[in-house]
């Protein structure tokens, strides 16, 4: 087994253990392999080990990787900030965008999604713990943004995404996960199309699953430490 296959196996075991502990079925949680800064060959190795969904933060880097891997049936998720001048690349190349935090970005993605592609799956990114430097809509604005996004053609509203601050303790971490789940449930009352709670990374995978996450985003635990500091793009 390659290191990546071995790591993937281990992460899937962690997800299965967390699901069992939470009384949830393992197929309720999707593993998104975050391949940012890692080469196309690493993605190819993960695909060979059964992984299909990949997350990328830097749009141009991702599009180059997609071209190198066009022979594989992969699902690509944009999980990085989306500037206005990058919406066209996202609309034309990705299957999902998790980081919608402004109506303007959603409107551009809607207008730019090619008609021959399936609708772009989107999540509203919520700044659940008020981190000052973070993107994401404040929780009290999330429902209104979700309503507006749900009405846009070319997009399919799937749920809510959050990136909590690195929690100082497990009680604080749990509070953040629980608050996100509550917000997700609240918005879902009027938008039952939402089926995705994108929450949990390498460090907080188990508590996120306990709180109801349906998609965990895991990078380093699969691909190893990132080879270089992240460049913009
Ligand atoms: C990089 C990243 C991840 C993965 O983080 P790891 O620590 O490598 O597991 C998950 N979500 C987002 C939004 C990221 O930017």
220 CA distance to ligand 1 middle (Å):
8
| 219 falls within a domain | yes
Report how far apart, in Å, the C-alpha atoms of 164 and of each of 89, 134, 136, 173 are. 27, 9, 11, 8
| 229 falls within a domain | no
pTM, two decimals, is: 0.95
> Ligand 1: which of 56, 97, 219, 226 to mutate, judged by most atoms within 8 Å of the beta carbon?
219
**CA angle, residues 65, 68, 72, in degrees to nearest 5:** 100
Short-list 160, 173, 70, 169, CA closest to 121? 160
- pLDDT attached to residue 169: 75
Instruction: With beta carbons less than 8 A apart as the criterion, state whether 142 and 160 touch.
Output: yes
| 230 falls within a domain | no
Short-list 227, 98, 101, CA closest to 161? 98
With pLDDT > 70 as the criterion, what percentage of the chain qualifies? Answer: 95
- pLDDT attached to residue 233: 45
2 CA distance to ligand 1 middle (Å):
22
Short-list 49, 67, 37, CA closest to 3? 49
Q: What is the CATH number of the domain that holds 40?
A: 3.20.20.10
Whether the CB of 135 sits within 6 Å of ligand 1: no
Whether the CB of 219 sits within 6 Å of ligand 1: yes
pLDDT in tens, 151-191: 999 999 999 999 987 766 777 788 899 999 999 999 999 99
Whether the CB of 57 sits within 6 Å of ligand 1: yes
According to DSSP, the residues that pair with 33 across neighbouring strands are: 54, 218
> Residue 200: left (phi > 0), alpha (psi -120 to 50), or beta?
left
How many structural domains are present in the chain? 1
201 CA distance to ligand 1 middle (Å):
6
- pLDDT attached to residue 228: 61
210 CA distance to ligand 1 middle (Å):
19
| 92 falls within a domain | yes
| 179 falls within a domain | yes
Domain range enclosing 138: 3-223
Low-confidence residues in the chain, pLDDT < 50: 233
């Amino acid at each position: 087994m390659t290191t990546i296959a071995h790591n993937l196996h281990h992460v899937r075991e962690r997800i299965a253990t967390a699901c069992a502990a939470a009384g949830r079925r393992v197929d309720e949680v999707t593993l998104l392999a975050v391949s940012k800064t890692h080469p196309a060959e690493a993605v190819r190795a993960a695909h060979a080990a059964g992984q299909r969904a990949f997350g990328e933060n830097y749009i141009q880097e991702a599009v180059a990787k997609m071209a190198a891997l066009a022979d594989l049936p992969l699902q690509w998720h944009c999980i990085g900030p989306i500037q206005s001048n990058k919406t066209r690349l996202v609309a034309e190349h990705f299957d999902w965008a998790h980081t919608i935090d402004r109506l303007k970005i959603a409107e551009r993605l809607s207008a730019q999604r090619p008609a021959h592609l399936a609708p772009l799956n989107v999540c509203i990114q919520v700044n659940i713990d008020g981190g000052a430097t973070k993107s994401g809509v404040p929780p009290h604005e999330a429902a209104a943004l979700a309503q507006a996004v749900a009405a846009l053609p070319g997009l399919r509203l799937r749920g809510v995404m959050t990136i909590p601050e690195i929690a100082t303790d497990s009680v604080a971490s749990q509070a953040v996960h629980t608050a996100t789940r509550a917000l997700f449930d609240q918005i879902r009352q009027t938008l039952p199309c939402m089926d995705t709670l994108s929450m949990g990374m390498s460090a907080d995978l188990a508590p996120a699953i306990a709180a109801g996450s349906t998609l965990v985003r895991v990078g380093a635990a699969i691909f190893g430490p990132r080879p270089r500091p992240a460049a913009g793009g």
